[in-house]
Structure 1
Amino acid sequence: MKLSEKLKADIKHLTTSSVGGKPKPAFILFFIKKAVRIVVIYRVLNHFYLNRNKVALLLLSPLKLYFRLMTSRYCTDISYKTKIGPGFKLNHSYGIIVNIRSTIGENVYLGHNVTVGSNSPSKFPKIGNNVTIFPGSIIIGDVTIGDNVTIGAGSLVVKDVPANTVVGGHPSKILRTLSNIDI
């Protein structure tokens, strides 16, 4: 997938509001929302990293430094080397930790204070497509989150989550299974 297509998917997801109302143009959001800047800069750096374009990454060193400073300032630990599909959305970029070896699918939303981490050197979460992870959730270990999953606020996910479900709790359990009508 081209960089422009990934950026379009990210921007489309970033400019949609869960509250409703008229979305702001992407270039305005880039300047006023730090979460938008983090996602856009992540996407550019990630594209050149995945394509092994060392020259571009060298030329983008100032951008890499700015990305590192921004993520550090907002206590967000997302590496540009992490594999995240298009349509990535952060609403508030505070306290988000994503393990570098985790994989995240398309159209994924991460709320603030979300941890996607490892409990051993070889076990990392895999998150599917169209997943919403609400604030304060922790996904840790060798777990697979299926497609079309919603993880409630403050949940601890240590076991696989099947597709088309809503989970919550500490530890998490299935609260609801979504039908085709709900999706």
Structure 2
Amino acid sequence: MQDVPRYTYRQTVAADAIRYGGGSGLEAVLKLLAGNRLFRVTFTLRSCQAANRMGGPLRKPLLAACRLLHRWTQHSAAMDLPWETQVGPGLRILHGWGLVVNAKARIGANVTLFHGVTLGQKDDLLPTGRVTHYPELGDGVWVGPHAVVIGVSVGDECIVAASSVVTKPMPRRTVVAGNPGKVVAEVTIPDIPNPAPVGASSSQTTAAQASPVPG
């Protein structure tokens, strides 16, 4: 990861655990690792990124081990969530089957992703050459089953309805539905099951104040 992380490994793992309803302490994290295949994917993603930020001679072998473990957890959960993906704290994945995320996507804090979601790139062919755009989800975004977001930004606390295809940027706190996706309503109450205690917006997010976990 090239960007300096805004959150520590402990904060992101604790926030993810809260989203799955398990609390943020060591016991809760261990229970989720033992029994929740979806939490295991986010945990190994965080572990890969933490290993990649390390210095010294242990960095490469530890990163290689974490990447191998992450590959196994993705396979077990039948999804593709590359370890390089920038993901804010408090990610929750529901069901998970068929989830596909581009490695250069950006996902904010307290985001909820259902099964079959695709976050993919969009290529524009211009006279000067190909220009590639990557998707970005703001904080508190809820993306329903089989929705597709192609190379555009979705604002904070939006709700993307099931099977929507989003190809244009969407303002914050809107409900998006259809193919192509259009704004159909405003969001009055964001849909964030078990929200982790992080900032309300990606531009003003502060460090999560969750109980520490090892790492």
Asked if Structure 1 and Structure 2 have the same fold, meaning a TM-score greater than 0.5 normalized by the shorter chain, the answer is: yes
- Cα contact 2:17–2:28 (8 A) shared by 1: no
Structure 2: runs of 5 or more not aligned: 1-6, 124-130, 191-215
2:184 is matched with 175
- Cα contact 1:34–1:93 (8 A) shared by 2: no
Q: Where does 1:143-158 land on structure 2 (aligned, <5 Å)? A: 143-158=152-167
Residue 39, structure 1, aligned to residue 49, structure 2:
no
- Cα contact 1:101–1:124 (8 A) shared by 2: yes
SS in structure 1 at match of 2:184:
strand
Q: Label 1:84 to 1:69 Cα distance change in 2 as closer, same or farther (>3 A).
A: same
Q: Where does 1:8-157 land on structure 2 (aligned, <5 Å)? A: 8-15=14-21, 25-49=28-52, 51=53, 53=55, 55-120=58-123, 122-141=132-151, 143-157=152-166
**Larger Rg belongs to:** 2
CA distance in 2, matches of 1:62, 1:46: 12
Structure 1: runs of 5 or more not aligned: 17-23
- The Cα shift of 1:47 comes to 2.5
SS in structure 1 at match of 2:97:
coil
- Cα contact 2:44–2:69 (8 A) shared by 1: no
2:171 is matched with 162
Q: Match of 1:128, as an amino acid?
A: G
SS in structure 1 at match of 2:95:
coil
SS in structure 2 at match of 1:122:
strand
CA distance in 1, matches of 2:70, 2:13: 16
Q: Which has the higher contact order (CA 8 A, sep 6+)?
A: 2
Name the TM-score, length of structure 2 as normaliser: 0.73
CA distance in 1, matches of 2:103, 2:50: 15
- Cα contact 2:41–2:77 (8 A) shared by 1: no
Percentage of matched positions with identical amino acids? 27
2:198 is matched with none
Name the TM-score, length of structure 1 as normaliser: 0.85
Greater mean alpha carbon deviation, residues 66-75 or residues 104-113: 66-75
Write 1 or 2 for the structure with the bigger share of helix.
Answer: 1
- Cα contact 1:15–1:26 (8 A) shared by 2: no
CA distance in 2, matches of 1:146, 1:57: 36
CA RMSD of aligned residues (A): 2.0
- The Cα shift of 1:109 comes to 0.8
- Cα contact 1:74–1:93 (8 A) shared by 2: yes
- The Cα shift of 1:119 comes to 2.4
